């Protein structure tokens, strides 16, 4: 479950993976899947999913874009998304809070309220944690989940001929981040903005600054055996696509098929932003699901989209060009500009 | 399992405990013990122990006292101690690393080596984690353990008439910290120190700067039903004693019975430190076990001490003065001076 965080060295993760293998033998019967996927899978008669993720001030959030309540929410949402990315059911979590002196009691209570409200929404139970003094504000959570019907959907498992799907819309997190970071400038300098446009921008920020983990969709993909390989998009499609591709496989992605929010397109039009597709596939932080499916399951996926109310979009297919990802735009090869979220 | 960290507000923990109760109902059948003990107990057919603890630069360690290898070790040792404090068997853990820019690859590798070596020693498996950029160095770990024979030993469970025991020696962590922090000054200004004394001091620091989690002892106390109430000493006996006292109970502690290291006493003599008992019971960081036992189990405890090679010392008894802890020194009431580790 060790995840490629945006600013960490891939080599370091490889090193951790290598080192962890020295310890795998001790509890072989307990560990079904260790480092290398969205979650570790451990079996203690029932199989549990275990994952941890952290958010840090000025790396994953700042106090311009988020208040404490929202930071609390985000800390749990990113962990929930890891369970969704396995098709699992989140159950329990523990918290580590790193609290700097300038965070006062009211701030912490707001943070906890955000965490607890999110926990209630997704029916996960806080079962412990610890608090540490620190010079910057961080929250680390470890989430434990399980899954039914013996199904769990792993990374790196796609087969040639499978279609590639994505849930919801890409780029909304980028747009919300961009708008919020530049709102004052935009409102002052774009004279053509109507009061309705400004309201639209405000609403867009509020609606999209926090991700929605696709627990229910992930669960149904898993139970219905509708996905061959599944992950969530945290680093951007351009990077995360490599997490679904099975060995000996590659893929083609049609950038014209990337699902985009209508309001995002409208806002980009009035702000003269042209490269929004590049941004939508490279910024990350959307926490939408990305998976592959056999062709004949297309109808079932349509039904699933209707029953869950979550958009599902086919964006490409798996071929047998090993480890080769081709992006196409208007029918021609295209390399998306890299706007990978540089974590502030 | 939410622990009273030394610098956090008790009120904040209460708040978290209160808030977490809002989420307990969702997975009632899974949670046997949540916040309030050293570990959370969750049941997924087998019962698992889950705990998390963090260490942060300039709060729990600094680079004068510890190198990166030792910091790595410490981050896992403090977590292992929580499993020992339940009488459990550590099995799995996940890591969150917060890495500042000045920590280079070699530093991280050293840290990981310390973690992995400790994991191998205690036969626990690293099953995942995450990495985050940060402005200060922190390590958070979540540990998962289990236990056999349906035994686990909780806090707040002592009964009137039970005797109070402690493992190993208290004060060694304080002494190592004190000596290391003041070594240059001591070596320069204490003219009476022989070369042997200086070597003794160096050795003492190296031997005692890292705790030894009492996994085996905790396990045997639990399996043998030898402890009524059990915890580990992280904040100092003066504080942690309150974690074993059951409702309606209090205790008397004989300060003259506190187990002290011979070398510690010798070093205190040559350095003219007189209040070492006060320091041994209030500084904390020893991670020794503290438990209560029925009187008739004394012989079995003696046997256990022999078989495990771990010193066991009777230091007091449980009475029925509710929530009242009396310390006695030379037969008279005495309030230990508070040298609680102020986290640097």
Q: Is B99 on the interface with A (CB under 8 A)?
A: yes
Burial bucket for residue B344 (CB in 10 Å: 0-12, 13-18, 19+)? middle
The whole-number pLDDT of residue A2 equals 35
Number of other CB atoms surrounding residue B174 within 10 Å: 24
Q: Is B35 within 8 Å of A128 (Cβ atoms)? A: yes
Q: Is B39 within 8 Å of B85 (Cβ atoms)? A: yes
Q: Where in chain A is the domain with CATH 3.30.1330.10?
A: 10-146
Which residue shows structure tokens 């796609």?
A: A158
Chain B residues inside the 8 Å CB shell of A7: 132-133
The whole-number pLDDT of residue B40 equals 61
Report, as ranges of residue numbers, the positions in chain A whose pLDDT lies below 70. Answer: 1-20, 23-46, 149, 152, 339-344
The whole-number pLDDT of residue A156 equals 82
Q: Is B82 within 8 Å of B53 (Cβ atoms)? A: yes
Q: CB B19 to CB A131 under 8 A? A: no
Within the 132-191 window of chain B, which residues sit less than 8 Å (CB to CB) from chain A?
A: 132-136, 138, 140, 142, 144, 146
How far is the first Cα of chain A from the last one, in angstroms, to the nearest whole number?
24
**Predicted TM-score of the model (pTM):** 0.86
User: Distance (Å, rounded) from C-alpha B342 to C-alpha B160?
Assistant: 33
User: Residue A46: which of B1, B34, B44 has the nearest Cβ?
Assistant: B44
Tens-digit pLDDT profile for residues A265-292: 999 999 999 999 999 999 989 999 999 9
State the Rg of chain B over Cα. 20
The whole-number pLDDT of residue B11 equals 54
Edge to edge, the sheet with strand A40-44 lists: A31-33, A40-44, A46-56, A138-146, A89-99, A125-133
Mean pLDDT score across all residues of chain A:
86
Tens-digit pLDDT profile for residues B204-224: 999 999 999 999 999 999 999
Q: Where in chain B is the domain with CATH 3.90.650.10?
A: 163-333
Beta bridge partners of A33: A41
Q: Which two tokens stand for residue A155?
A: 């990374």
The whole-number pLDDT of residue B37 equals 54
Closest by CA to A79, choosing from A149, A126, A130, A148, is A126
The whole-number pLDDT of residue A341 equals 45
Closest by CA to A23, choosing from B31, B92, B191, is B92
Enter the CATH code of domain B10-146. Answer: 3.30.1330.10
Q: Is A130 on the interface with B (CB under 8 A)?
A: yes
The whole-number pLDDT of residue B339 equals 58
Which residue shows structure tokens 């404090």?
A: B85
Locate the chain A residue with the closest alpha carbon to B36: A128
Indicate the fold that domain B163-333 takes in CATH: Phosphoribosyl-aminoimidazole Synthetase; Chain A, domain 2 (3.90.650)
User: Distance (Å, rounded) from C-alpha B252 to C-alpha B316?
Assistant: 5
CA dist B284 → A134, A226, B19, B341 (Å): 20, 54, 29, 6
Chain A residues inside the 8 Å CB shell of B46: 44-45
Report, as ranges of residue numbers, the positions in chain B whose pLDDT lies below 70. Answer: 1-21, 23-46, 149, 152, 339-344
CA dist A173 → A161, B182, B313 (Å): 31, 51, 59
Predicted ipTM?
Answer: 0.84
The whole-number pLDDT of residue B6 equals 32
The whole-number pLDDT of residue A18 equals 65
């Amino acid at each position: 479950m060790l995840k490629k965080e945006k600013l960490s060295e891939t080599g370091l993760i490889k090193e951790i993976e290598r080192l962890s293998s020295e310890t795998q033998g001790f509890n072989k019967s307990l560990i079904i899947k260790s480092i290398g996927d969205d979650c570790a899978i451990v079996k203690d008669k029932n199989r549990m999913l275990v994952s941890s993720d952290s958010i840090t001030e000025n790396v994953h959030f700042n106090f311009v874009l988020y208040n404490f309540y929202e930071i609390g929410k985000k800390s749990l949402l990113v962990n929930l998304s890891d369970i969704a990315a396995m098709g699992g059911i989140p159950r329990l979590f523990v918290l580590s809070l790193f609290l700097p002196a300038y965070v006062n009691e009211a701030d912490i209570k707001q943070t906890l309220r955000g965490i607890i409200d999110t926990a209630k929404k997704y029916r996960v139970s806080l079962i412990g944690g610890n608090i540490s003094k620190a010079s910057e504000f961080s929250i680390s959570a470890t989430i434990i989940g399980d899954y039914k019907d013996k199904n769990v959907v792993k990374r790196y498992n796609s087969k040639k001929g499978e279609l590639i799907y994505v849930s919801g819309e890409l780029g909304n997190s980028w747009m919300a981040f961009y708008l919020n970071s530049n709102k004052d400038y935009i409102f002052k300098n774009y004279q053509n903005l109507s009061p309705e446009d400004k309201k639209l921008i405000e609403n867009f920020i509020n609606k999209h600054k926090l991700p929605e983990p696709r627990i229910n969709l992930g669960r149904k993909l898993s139970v219905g055996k509708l996905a061959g390989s599944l992950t969530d998009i945290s680093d951007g499609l351009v990077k995360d696509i490599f997490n679904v591709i099975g060995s000996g496989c590659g893929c083609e992605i049609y950038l014209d098929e990337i699902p985009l929010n209508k309001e995002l397109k409208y806002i980009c039009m009035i702000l003269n932003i042209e490269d929004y597709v590049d941004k939508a596939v490279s910024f990350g932080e959307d926490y939408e699901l990305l998976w592959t499916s056999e062709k004949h399951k297309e109808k079932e996926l349509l039904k699933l989209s209707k029953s869950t109310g979550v958009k599902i979009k086919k964006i490409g297919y798996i071929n047998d060009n090993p480890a080769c990802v081709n992006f196409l735009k208007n029918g021609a090869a295209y390399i998306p500009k890299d706007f990978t979220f540089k974590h502030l």
